[in-house]
Amino acid sequence: MVGEAREEDCDSPPPPAGVRGATGRAKTDGRRLIENGKFGLREGVQEGIKEQQRLLVGRPRSADATSEATRLIDSAHAGPTVCA
């Protein structure tokens, strides 16, 4: 990686102890934030899948209801039947 190559090629002295501690905390915080983000993403994806499944299960009922409504409207527009 580019970052690794730069670290290997660098001949500067290591940072003072206080800076190393701050860097370590920053790395720890960064890892924690990444893990929290991954967890949130997984949770959001699972919720989305559940919602999608719920909508797909309800779809046949919706199609049946639409079909029945169309039939009722058509029969209402047809008017009364005349018996001969």
Predicted confidence (pLDDT) per residue in 46-82, tens digit: 999 999 988 888 777 777 888 888 888 888 877 666 5
Query: Is the model's pLDDT at 13 over the cut of 80?
Result: no
Query: Is the model's pLDDT at 6 over the cut of 60?
Result: no
Quote the mean pLDDT of the chain. 79
Tell me the average pLDDT across 31-40.
Answer: 95
Share of the chain above pLDDT 90, in %: 31
**What is the structure's pLDDT at 46?**
94
d(CA 35, CA 31): 6
pTM value?
Answer: 0.46
Q: Identify whether the C-beta of residue 14 lies closer than 8 Å to the C-beta of residue 20.
A: yes
